[in-house]
């Protein structure tokens, strides 16, 4: 079974990958399209040269790997994806073979966290638009999916993970609530720049509401993101 989680940046996607990696029956992979995305978009993210040189950049080759046998003889392949790394949304038929989950976070929290680490020039860098496109594709294809808000997960991780596991017909494992501190073997090499919080964690952190003000220069990106976020949230049951 392939479980594909489609997130945007600065969500709890890495903590969620930690959670799934704690299962003895699960293999995880960290943002397999990142190098392809950086190369095609000609983006100079932190460590972009190292990333492009270290990972595959051909989309078809990456997909072929992601849809092949699950590594290490595991039963579940948990794939942590950034939705905005899908550049050509007309070529995603392969996700129909996956159990797809859309992970969302309030745009205020995402934009605040993202701009503390990187420049933000377009709403498409945040993944909301691509998440909307993925959902619409899955709906047209009559394929089930689920949407999880990171706020709900942080407030009650056991409940949300139990529901998720039930929907994909596997048993919830309490090991998913804890993981080992530090960098993990399957982390992308970019962990040194982006994962300073999660590498010091051993469990999901309690949700804390923050007083966030969006800078004027990001207001249009925020407003558009909110439209997509509201649409995606409408599928949470």
Tokens of 45: 């993210």
pLDDT the model gives residue 166:
97
Residue 38 CA: distances (Å) to CA of 8, 84, 92, 211: 15, 11, 19, 32
Question: What is the CA angle 13-3-1, rounded to 5?
Answer: 155
Please state the rounded mean pLDDT for residues 191-216.
90
pLDDT the model gives residue 46:
84
**Which structural domains are found in the chain, ordered by start?**
2-233 (3.40.50.300)
Is the pTM value of this prediction over 0.85?
yes
* Alpha-carbon dihedral angle through residues 216, 218, 223, 224, given to the nearest 10 degrees: 150
Q: Is the per-residue pLDDT at 209 higher than 90?
A: no
Element (H, E) at 99: strand 99-104
Taking the C-alpha atoms of residue 196 and residue 191, their distance in angstroms, rounded to an integer, is: 7
pLDDT the model gives residue 107:
96
* Alpha-carbon dihedral angle through residues 51, 177, 78, 226, given to the nearest 10 degrees: -70
Do β-strands 99-104 and 145-149 pair in parallel, antiparallel, or remain unpaired?
parallel
Q: Is the per-residue pLDDT at 197 higher than 90?
A: no
pLDDT the model gives residue 185:
94
C-alpha 75: how far from chain center: 21
Residue 85: what are its φ and ψ, rounded to 5°?
-75, -10
Q: Is the per-residue pLDDT at 133 higher than 90?
A: yes
Of 71-80, 111-120, 187-196, 200-209, highest mean pLDDT = 71-80
102-106, 124-128, 191-195, 221-225: segment of lowest average pLDDT: 191-195
Helix (H/G/I), strand (E/B), else coil: 225: helix
For residue 64, which of 40, 38, 36, 41 has the smallest C-alpha distance?
Answer: 36
């Amino acid at each position: 079974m392939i479980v594909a989680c489609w997130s945007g940046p600065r969500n709890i996607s890495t903590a969620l990958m930690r959670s799934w990696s704690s299962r003895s029956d699960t293999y995880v992979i960290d943002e397999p399209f990142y190098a392809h995305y950086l190369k095609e978009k000609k983006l100079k993210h932190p460590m972009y040269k190292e990333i492009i040189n270290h990972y595959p950049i051909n989309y078809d080759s990456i997909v072929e790997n992601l849809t092949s046998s699950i590594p290490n003889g595991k039963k579940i392949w948990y794939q942590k994806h950034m939705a905005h790394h899908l550049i050509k949304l007309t070529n995603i038929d392969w996700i129909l073979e996956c159990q797809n989950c859309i992970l969302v976070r309030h745009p205020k929290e995402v934009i605040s966290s993202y701009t503390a680490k990187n420049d933000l020039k377009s709403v498409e860098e945040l993944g909301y638009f691509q998440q909307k496109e993925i959902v619409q594709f899955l709906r047209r294809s009559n394929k089930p999916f689920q949407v999880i808000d990171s706020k709900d997960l942080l407030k009650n991780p056991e409940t949300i993970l139990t529901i998720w596991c039930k929907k994909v017909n596997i048993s919830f494992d309490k090991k998913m609530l804890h993981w080992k501190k530090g960098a993990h073997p399957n982390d992308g090499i970019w962990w040194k720049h982006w994962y300073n919080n999660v590498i010091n964690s051993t469990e999901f952190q309690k949700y804390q509401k923050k007083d966030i003000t969006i800078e004027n220069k990001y207001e249009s990106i925020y407003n558009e993101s909110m439209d997509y976020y509201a649409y995606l949230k409408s599928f949470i049951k």
